Amino acid sequence: MLPRSLFSLGLTTTASLVAATGPCDIYASGGTPCVAAHSTTRALYASYSGPLYQVIRGSDSATTDIKPLSAGGVANAAAQDTFCSGTTCLISIIYDQSGQGNHLTQAPPGGEASGPEANGYDYLASAVGAPVTLKGKKAYGVFIAPQTGYRNDVPRGTATGDNPEGLYAVLDGTHYNSACCFDYGNAETNNKDTGNGHMEAIFFGDRTAHGYGAGSGPWVLADLENGLYTSGGDNGVGRNPNNPSVNYRFVTAVLKGNSGNQWAIRGGNAKSGSLSTYYSGVRPTSNYNPMSKEGAIVLGVGGDNSDGGQGTFYEGVMTTGYPSDATENSVQANIVAAGYAAASLQSGPKISVNTTVSFRATTAPCCTTKYITHVGADVQLQVVSSSSTVALKSSASWIVHVGLGNSACLSFESVDSPGSFIRHSSNRLQVNTNDGSTIFAQDATFCSQEALDSTGTNALRSWSYPARYWRHSGGTLYIASNGGPNAFDSKATFNDDMRLGTNRVEYLISPAAGVSAIHRNTARGLRSLAFNASIVYIVKRRLRRLLDRISSTDIANVPDIQRNIARPFRRCDSLKWLSGTNCDSPEDRRPNPGILNIRRTYHSNPAAVKVKPRVIIHGGAGNIKREDMSADQYKEYRRSLLSIITSTDAYMRTPKGAFTSSKRPKYPSALEIATYAVVQLENNPLFNSGHGAVFTRDGINELEASVMVTRGFAKRGVGVTGLRSVKNPILLARAMLEHGERDLRGNTELGWAAPANETTGEVGLDVPSAQGHTLIHGETAEILARKYGLETVDPSYYFTQKRWDEHVRGLEREKNGKGAATWSVDEYIPQGTCGAVALDEDGVICVATSTGGVTNKLTGRIGDTPVVGAGFWAEEWSEKGDPSANRANPANPWRSLTDYLELPGSVVELPSNLYNFFTDCLPTPSLYSPVPSRASPTHDRGTDIRVVRSTAVSGTGNGDSFLRVAAARSVASIARWASVSSAEAVNRIAGRGGELETSAGPRWGKTGEGEGGMIGIESSIAVNKSGAVLYSRSEILQDHNCAGMFRAWIGDDGLPEMKIWHEDDGTNSENEQASILEGKRAY
């Protein structure tokens, strides 16, 4: 989750108070001062400016101290990044901020276990394993892997015997196991188990050996030595139903022990709300009264150095005296105000999920022809080339998945051994079958980062042991640390050898490369399909330039043009033709079998006439005033909108796969086009969806999305809401729609249900899909996303500083009585959505919409975006008979279509050579527009004509207003039953003075109510009595009643256009618009 506001329900701490105090200041004011204060993320006293922790550099063992950016502030992570650049770093000391000198250093061996490092010491933690942000400022926590630990056996001032003390720790609620023991707190001074009651430490995990909480864990427990407890009396063994399983990303754990047989355990969400008391009462009866605490301090290990636990620590303290609940509640408020949020675990060149890749070593001179392969279970380097066997190429290929153990990272499945993944075992990389266990999932999860030498390549780091990276040694692959205890950890060759799949990973074939390589997506073939697609694109582009010279001249009379057009379809190397080289040798002129002589006759048949695809997008609407937008802001929005619409147009016009003489090319469907566009909007932080989503009042991102089609899917429309971890909500909506074929129709090819022996691993959802449901919320929707194999992310992915600042300003404005938290008359506060409407060649229209909702909405609020008929709608209907029947009505939208259909013969005539070229060789405009030839038969007209009308709209603006008037469905109803165009219907709902505006009543312009706009597409297709398509037309729809609406579309001329304001004609250049904005003059 992301940082909740300082003004969250139940918290009254102001920004000034937070700035003036730290947790230890609060404890001191309560009479229970800190005697140990540890944090790698921030200062715990308002005045503290000393070192927080020390890092040691792998390349030369040099050290440096990391201090806060300012007194009382967040750690200076940039100083660490600079110091550790080009190498690795470990956390060597965690300093005590209390002044007692209780620093934590590398844990020595103990009675239970000796560590793997020299002289039995435990590992030190990676300095980069647990990145976070505090109010947007980067910091690093302490990622404790098994056999990692810190300790101080010579403490000062800590509680001993039965003396009182208090402890708290902020931990990662998702990182834990059931081993012993991830502890922080009071322990033995001799590193041995000296008996019951000799410890008093916070434990976090799902161990159930003694006492435990409700559900399946993890829980905040107390390690009192020889027992983990969450209650007292009756030996404290068994379940405490008042101690809940933790489901927070950041958890505050509190433990305190008083003299005289009293102790308590408390906890809460470190990002919001107050603490809950899980137990307060007497101690367990098995020799825990009185206590015999010894005062040593441990982090990550038990009192006897039991080192099997794992977890992540951000901050914690130990106090003298027994803190009051009120003091601890104030500390919790301070923690919430700190604004903890997760940061990305990956960096560098992206390795995309759901692609198939291979990795090549680039270590010279030994290994540049070697790739990561597997022989059985062993992961090895082998030479692989274009002449290698298919089996060897397959063994070098890996399918990229969302991380099995952490969705913020990656897992790699073997292409030739489905169900088997690369994982580490005893530090060696192996390929093993996924057994579904937690440890397998964690060991098979790796995080990609930029190579340490900053060469623009990747390194792969173990998620569960983040100090270790993929590295080859003697042809075998390991997870290795820089200077660790093993031979393969050698510092001398670390950077060179880890280039194998960590520092210098390269794809054997990349989506943009046209080089000889092993393969992508299958183990067959050596050519890049992307290269072939690029050839088609460039040919089309060159053709467009050539055709500009043709006018109405018969192509047969222009030999030069004819030769140039024909060349790509002969044996001449396409690269020669593209570079301008002549291709007139006898060999070049020989037909290329299967390419030349492809002849299509489907355009002579009206049944094959296709519709011209169209697309329009929007990025929100509201109080977007021209005078409030700088020239730079305008440029940023303009470039983003035009980039997205241009990319979508290229995708829309690219055939899906190759086409042959027996099969016409197939282009993306409306569903594919619309969701393609919305994914780009979701990934762009400018827009209120996905990565740019707004915050709720509680500082959470809750996302919504929907899709709907005019026909083609059983469900037609679906919505999802309350999403907190799905990277692209629109893809979940799409998957629900697609799975509806199985859910509603029982299509056995898609699978009616999961096999009886399949274990999903999910709790509370025992069906494979969404059944017949149209709207799914929250956790259930996210479980479905994982079942569908969609990418999930840590909620910190959605964080942007701009949205956070808007969130805080809104709450401050409301608190100060200067307006609502959700809308401002002085600035654009996002309350709208992102969306796309697309029409495909089959006449299907799809609307896809995605949003973060209204800024500072209540957590759990559901807006119009996922509600069918409110924020989105798509509908198709038929009108029988000749549409000219209502021609007397000048408002009749079909008059121009009727006139068009009544023209004798073909409307557009082409010479046969040019027509045949268009229809036989390339996906040209003849596939997008009805272009009958001279030989086309006369089509049926008159009373045999039936017009299929369809319309789809996506709304953006104040969602509650859209809900109240069922805005989107109303547009279609008006168009269908009032015999008006959809453009007119959109205007009646979303235009100035329309239904949305009037629904706000006297609140219009004061609260944001009624504000909004709509985009859409209307299509009309004329078919004859046999159902064959004769002609078609379509129209882009757009209107808004507020100051502005971000939108872009492809115009009738095929060029991209964009608008924000009503008076903007969408044709001005970027510089022209910027000049207008800089002058703040009317346009």
DSSP per-residue codes, 1050-1083: E-TTS-EEEESSTT--S-S-HHHHHHHHHHT---
- Nearest CA among 1051, 1023, 1024, 1046 for reference residue 1036: 1051
- CA distances from residue 49 to 36, 65, 97 in whole angstroms, order as listed: 16, 12, 9
998 is in an annotated binding site: no
958 is in an annotated binding site: yes
Task: Provide the 3-class DSSP secondary structure of residue 530.
Answer: helix
**The residue count for the chain:** 1083
283 is in an annotated binding site: no
1039 is in an annotated binding site: no
Instruction: Classify burial at 585, counting beta carbons within 10 Å of its beta carbon; exposed 0-12, middle 13-18, buried 19 or more.
Output: exposed
The pLDDT value recorded for residue 942 is 44
Q: DSSP alpha helices (H): ranges in 42-160?
A: 77-83
- Nearest CA among 318, 340, 400 for reference residue 171: 340
Dist. CA 65–CA 974, nearest whole Å: 69
The pLDDT value recorded for residue 768 is 65
Dist. CA 704–CA 722, nearest whole Å: 6
Secondary-structure percent of the chain, ordered helix, strand, coil, rounded to 5:
25, 25, 50
Dist. CA 158–CA 320, nearest whole Å: 7
* Catalytic, out of 200, 223, 304, 995: 304
The pLDDT value recorded for residue 126 is 97
Task: Provide the 3-class DSSP secondary structure of residue 839.
Answer: strand
Residue with tokens 């081993």: 179
The pLDDT value recorded for residue 802 is 86
Q: Report yes or no: 810 and 856 within 8 Å, Cβ to Cβ.
A: yes
Q: Report yes or no: 293 and 155 within 8 Å, Cβ to Cβ.
A: no
Dist. CA 477–CA 499, nearest whole Å: 11
Instruction: Check if 378 is active-site.
Output: no
- CA distances from residue 396 to 4, 348, 501, 508, 924 in whole angstroms, order as listed: 45, 22, 12, 9, 39
- Nearest CA among 731, 799, 703, 781 for reference residue 1: 799
Q: Residue 197: what residue type?
A: G
Dist. CA 989–CA 557, nearest whole Å: 54
Instruction: Classify burial at 477, counting beta carbons within 10 Å of its beta carbon; exposed 0-12, middle 13-18, buried 19 or more.
Output: buried
Instruction: Check if 672 is active-site.
Output: no
- Nearest CA among 360, 361, 363 for reference residue 496: 363
Instruction: Check if 304 is active-site.
Output: yes
Tokens of 408: 């913020």
Work out the angle at residue 131's Cα, subtended by the Cα atoms of residues 464 and 478, and round it to the nearest 5 degrees.
Answer: 30
Q: Residue 45: what residue type?
A: Y
Dist. CA 415–CA 524, nearest whole Å: 12
* Catalytic, out of 122, 225, 315, 698: 225
Dist. CA 1077–CA 1063, nearest whole Å: 13
Residue ranges in the chain whose pLDDT is less than 70: 1-20, 234-235, 454-456, 496-610, 657-664, 743-768, 880-944, 1027, 1064-1083
Q: 427: which DSSP letter? A: T
* Catalytic, out of 696, 833, 865, 898: 833
Task: Provide the 3-class DSSP secondary structure of residue 295.
Answer: coil
- Nearest CA among 1034, 1033, 1038 for reference residue 1049: 1038
Q: Can you list the domains of the chain with their CATH numbers?
A: 15-48+94-342 (2.60.120.200), 356-500 (2.80.10.50), 529-597 (no CATH), 614-883+944-1079 (no CATH)
Q: Report yes or no: 313 and 182 within 8 Å, Cβ to Cβ.
A: no
Dist. CA 868–CA 719, nearest whole Å: 7
The pLDDT value recorded for residue 181 is 96
- What's the pTM value of the predicted model, to 2 decimals? 0.53
Dist. CA 1027–CA 968, nearest whole Å: 29
956 is in an annotated binding site: yes
The pLDDT value recorded for residue 1079 is 42
Q: Report yes or no: 281 and 90 within 8 Å, Cβ to Cβ.
A: no
